[in-house]
Structure 1
Amino acid sequence: MKKIYLFIIIIMVSILAACSQQSSGSNDQEKQSEEVESQTTNQASAKDTDEKKVNEINLTAKEVKWTLSPDKTITAWTYNGTVPGEQIRVKEGELVRVNLTNELDKPVTIHWHGVPVPNTEDGIPGVTQDAIVPGKTYTYEFVANTPGTYWYHSHQNGVEQIDKGLYGTFIVEPKKGVNVDRDYTLVLDEWESGNEGHGMDMEGMDMGDMDNMANHSESEGSSMMGHDMSSYDIFTINGKTYKENKPLIVKKGDKVKLRFVNAGYMVHKIHIPVDYKVTHVDGQKVNNPEIQKGSVLEVAPGERYDIKFIADGSGDFTIDCHGEMDAAKDMKIDVVYKEGNGKKIEHSQPSTKVDLTTLGEDAEAQFTLEDEFDVEYTMDLGTKMDMSNEDMGMAWTINGETYPNVPPLKIDKGDKVKVTLTNNSMDESTHPMHLHGHFFQVLSKNGQPLEGSPIIKDTLNVKPGETYEVAFIADNPGNWLFHCHDLHHASSGMVMLVKYNNFEEFYTDTGKVDNKPQ
Structure 2
Amino acid sequence: MSSAAAALVVPRPSFAAPSVLRAEPVSLQVLPEGQGKTALWGFNGFSPGPELRVRKGDTLSLRFENHTEQPSSIHWHGIRIENAMDGVPGLTQPLVQPGETFDYVFQLPDAGTYWYHSHHQSWEQVARGLYGPLIVDEADAPKVDSDITAILDDWRLDESGALMAGFGDTHDFSHAGRLGNFAMILLSQDTVRLGDRLRLRLINTTTARIFPIRIDGLDAKVVALDGMSLAEPRDLSDIQLAPAQRVDVIGDVTAQVDFRFVARDALYDMGSLKIDGQNTNPVAPNIAALPAPSVSIPKTTPNQTLSLRMEGGAMGGRHAGDDIWALNGVSGLKDEPFATFKRGETAVIELINDTRFPHGIHLHGHHFYELRQDGSLGDLRDTSLVERGISRKIAVVLDNPGKWLLHCHMLGHQASGMKTWIEVT
Q: TM-score range by the shorter chain?
A: 0.7 to 0.9
Q: Distance in 1 between matches of 2:375 and 2:111?
A: 27
Within 5 A, what are the aligned runs for 1:172-321? 172-194=136-158, 195-200=164-169, 225-226=174-175, 229=178, 232-238=180-186, 248-264=190-206, 265-273=208-216, 274-292=218-236, 295-311=237-253, 314-321=254-261
Q: Distance in 1 between matches of 2:17 and 2:44?
A: 17
Within 5 A, what are the aligned runs for 1:354-503? 367=297, 371-383=300-312, 395-405=324-334, 407-425=337-355, 428-444=356-372, 447-449=373-375, 454-501=378-425
Structure ranking higher in strand proportion: 2
With over 3 angstroms needed to count, the CA separation of the structure-2 counterparts of 1:374 and 1:228, relative to structure 1, is: closer
Q: Which amino acid aligns with 1:251?
A: R
Q: Secondary structure at the match of 2:268?
A: helix
With over 3 angstroms needed to count, the CA separation of the structure-2 counterparts of 1:227 and 1:458, relative to structure 1, is: closer
The RMSD of aligned alpha carbons is: 2.9
Q: Distance in 1 between matches of 2:199 and 2:234?
A: 15
Say whether the 8 Å CA contact 1:247–1:334 is kept in structure 2.
no
Q: Secondary structure at the match of 1:286?
A: strand
- Which of 74, 86, 108 is 2:72 aligned to? 108
Say whether the 8 Å CA contact 2:148–2:189 is kept in structure 1.
no
Residue aligning to 1:512: none
Q: Distance in 2 between matches of 1:246 and 1:401?
A: 42
Say whether the 8 Å CA contact 2:48–2:130 is kept in structure 1.
yes
TM-score where L is the length of structure 1? 0.69
With over 3 angstroms needed to count, the CA separation of the structure-2 counterparts of 1:261 and 1:246, relative to structure 1, is: closer
| Mapped pair 1:336 → 2:298 | no
| Mapped pair 1:96 → 2:60 | yes
Q: Secondary structure at the match of 1:288?
A: strand
Q: CA deviation at 1:483?
A: 0.4
- Which of 25, 39, 59 is 1:63 aligned to? 25
Q: CA deviation at 1:449?
A: 4.2
Q: Distance in 2 between matches of 1:385 and 1:317?
A: 39
Q: Deviations over 1:176-219 (max 9, x none)?
A: 234211111111111111422313388xxxxxxxxxxxxxxxxx
Say whether the 8 Å CA contact 2:195–2:278 is kept in structure 1.
no
With over 3 angstroms needed to count, the CA separation of the structure-2 counterparts of 1:55 and 1:162, relative to structure 1, is: closer
Q: Which amino acid aligns with 1:334?
A: S
Q: Distance in 1 between matches of 2:189 and 2:227?
A: 24
Q: CA deviation at 1:56?
A: 5.4
Q: CA deviation at 1:500?
A: 2.2
Name the stretch that deviates more: 296-305 or 173-182: 173-182
Q: Distance in 2 between matches of 1:460 and 1:472?
A: 13
TM-score where L is the length of structure 2? 0.83
Q: Which amino acid aligns with 2:233?
A: P
Q: Structure 2 stretches of 5 or more lacking a match?
A: 1-15, 159-163, 280-288, 316-321
Q: Secondary structure at the match of 1:78?
A: strand
With over 3 angstroms needed to count, the CA separation of the structure-2 counterparts of 1:103 and 1:373, relative to structure 1, is: same
Q: Distance in 2 between matches of 1:119 and 1:395?
A: 29
Q: Distance in 2 between matches of 1:150 and 1:433?
A: 16
Q: Distance in 2 between matches of 1:143 and 1:121?
A: 10
Residue aligning to 1:507: none
With over 3 angstroms needed to count, the CA separation of the structure-2 counterparts of 1:157 and 1:65, relative to structure 1, is: same
Q: Secondary structure at the match of 1:272?
A: strand
Q: Which amino acid aligns with 2:357?
A: S
Q: Distance in 1 between matches of 2:306 and 2:379?
A: 20
Say whether the 8 Å CA contact 1:385–1:394 is kept in structure 2.
no
Say whether the 8 Å CA contact 2:215–2:238 is kept in structure 1.
yes
Q: Secondary structure at the match of 2:277?
A: coil
Q: CA deviation at 1:106?
A: 1.0
With over 3 angstroms needed to count, the CA separation of the structure-2 counterparts of 1:122 and 1:228, relative to structure 1, is: closer
Q: Deviations over 1:341-379 (max 9, x none)?
A: 9xxxxxxxxxxxxxxxxx99xx9x9657x8111111111
Q: CA deviation at 1:407?
A: 4.8
Q: CA deviation at 1:466?
A: 1.6
Q: Distance in 1 between matches of 2:255 and 2:148?
A: 19
Q: CA deviation at 1:137?
A: 1.8
Say whether the 8 Å CA contact 1:248–1:333 is kept in structure 2.
no
Q: Distance in 2 between matches of 1:259 and 1:304?
A: 7
Q: Distance in 2 between matches of 1:496 and 1:325?
A: 37
Q: Which amino acid aligns with 2:272?
A: D
With over 3 angstroms needed to count, the CA separation of the structure-2 counterparts of 1:310 and 1:407, relative to structure 1, is: same
Name the stretch that deviates more: 134-143 or 479-488: 134-143
Q: Distance in 2 between matches of 1:494 and 1:117?
A: 23
Q: Distance in 2 between matches of 1:65 and 1:454?
A: 41
With over 3 angstroms needed to count, the CA separation of the structure-2 counterparts of 1:287 and 1:100, relative to structure 1, is: same
Q: Secondary structure at the match of 1:488?
A: helix
Q: Distance in 1 between matches of 2:92 and 2:188?
A: 39
| Mapped pair 1:145 → 2:109 | yes
Q: Distance in 2 between matches of 1:415 and 1:317?
A: 45
Q: CA deviation at 1:133?
A: 1.0
Q: Secondary structure at the match of 1:413?
A: coil
Structure ranking higher in helix proportion: 1
With over 3 angstroms needed to count, the CA separation of the structure-2 counterparts of 1:124 and 1:165, relative to structure 1, is: same
Report the structure number with the largest CA radius of gyration.
Answer: 1
Q: Distance in 1 between matches of 2:190 and 2:104?
A: 33
Q: CA deviation at 1:335?
A: 2.1
Q: CA deviation at 1:315?
A: 2.5
With over 3 angstroms needed to count, the CA separation of the structure-2 counterparts of 1:171 and 1:384, relative to structure 1, is: closer
Name the stretch that deviates more: 282-291 or 295-304: 282-291
Q: Structure 1 stretches of 5 or more lacking a match?
A: 1-53, 203-221, 239-244, 342-358, 387-392, 502-518
With over 3 angstroms needed to count, the CA separation of the structure-2 counterparts of 1:199 and 1:336, relative to structure 1, is: same
Q: CA deviation at 1:228?
A: 6.3
Residue aligning to 1:85: 49
Say whether the 8 Å CA contact 2:223–2:234 is kept in structure 1.
no
